[in-house]
Structures are given as structure tokens and as C-alpha cells.
Amino acid sequence: MKKVFSNQYFLLIIRIIIAMVFIYAGAEKISDPKGFSQSIYNYRILPIETINILAITLPWLELISGILLLFGISVKENAAIIGTLLLVFIIAVALSMIRGLDIDCGCFGKGNMVGWRKIGENSLMLIICVVLMAFDSKIILLNDRKTD
């Protein structure tokens, strides 16, 4: 198993997948801050005073971490940031399910409801982030050749 996880091409592929998911998710939320703010409010977890600032900052964190991850910049650190976000998302979805809320998760626009499927998706992405933190990904997508 360690041989698979230490394969640089495997790590590159999973890194690109996670990066693209978070780039897309961040961009989607940035394009509709009011809708994302409503999605956060629907969870009924945070004080109302914090919702707007979170609705503005969280998507940019997702987008920037995704872009940096895509280009192989500080892979372990950005995988840790995204992994932490995923853990928070898993907890928020689980709490909503326990409380019986039938709400949109706020992940990729409208129509993604909280539930076991969302917990499974986020858990899989969290595992991928842990793999990236443990094994890193040395392949970078930037051309860093030096010219003399």
C-alpha cells in the first residue's frame, strides 16, 4: 500500500482532483455570496454575526488553497488547510442530520442536500488530504527552469 501512496503520479492525480474540486467550489461560492450566506445560516450552528464574514472569506480560502495545491506549492500545508475544512464540513453535515435538518449543504450551488452521501464524499476527500500530507507530491506544475 505504501508503494501506491508514494507513487508521484498517483499523488499528482489525487492532488489535481482535490485542487479542482476546491477551486470549483470556491469559485461557485464567490459568485453567489448571498446564497452561500443563506446556506451557512441554514445549518443553525454559528452566531448570525459571523455568517457574512464567513460567507465572504471561506470561498476565497478554498479557491486559493486549491490553486496552490494544483500548482504544487506548499502541498502539505494546503492539504492540511483543505483537510481541516473538510473535517469541519463533515461535522456540520453530521450535526444537521442528527438535528433532522433537511437543508442544502452549500457545497456546489443548489441541490446538494446534507446526508450520508455528502459525509462519504467529504470523508474520501479528507483521506486524500491525509495521504497528501503524509507522502507529499514532489511533481509541480510550474515551469521552474532557470535561464542563464
Q: Could you state, in order of their start, the residue ranges of all structural domains in the chain?
A: 2-135
- Average pLDDT over every residue of 45-69: 95
Q: What is the pLDDT of residue 108?
A: 75
Of 135, 115, 103, give the one whose Cα is nearest residue 39: 103
Q: What is the pLDDT of residue 131?
A: 93
Residue 144 has pLDDT above 70, yes or no: no
8 Å CB contact between 14 and 131:
yes
Q: pLDDT tens digits, residue range 79-128?
A: 999 999 999 999 999 999 999 998 988 887 667 889 999 999 999 999 99
Spatial distance between the Cα atoms of 70 and 99, rounded to a whole number of angstroms: 36
8 Å CB contact between 92 and 51:
no
Element spanning 86, H or E = helix 75-98
Q: What is the pLDDT of residue 18?
A: 97
Q: What is the pLDDT of residue 93?
A: 94
Q: How many CB atoms lie within 10 A of CB 3?
A: 7
Q: What is the pLDDT of residue 125?
A: 96
Q: Is the pTM of this model over 0.75?
A: yes
At residue 1 the predicted structure's pLDDT band, cuts being 50, 70 and 90, is: low
Spatial distance between the Cα atoms of 115 and 36, rounded to a whole number of angstroms: 18
More confident residue, 71 or 141: 71
- The phi, psi pair for 108, rounded to 5°, reads -130, 55
At residue 148 the predicted structure's pLDDT band, cuts being 50, 70 and 90, is: very low
Of 136, 133, 127, 95, give the one whose Cα is nearest residue 114: 95
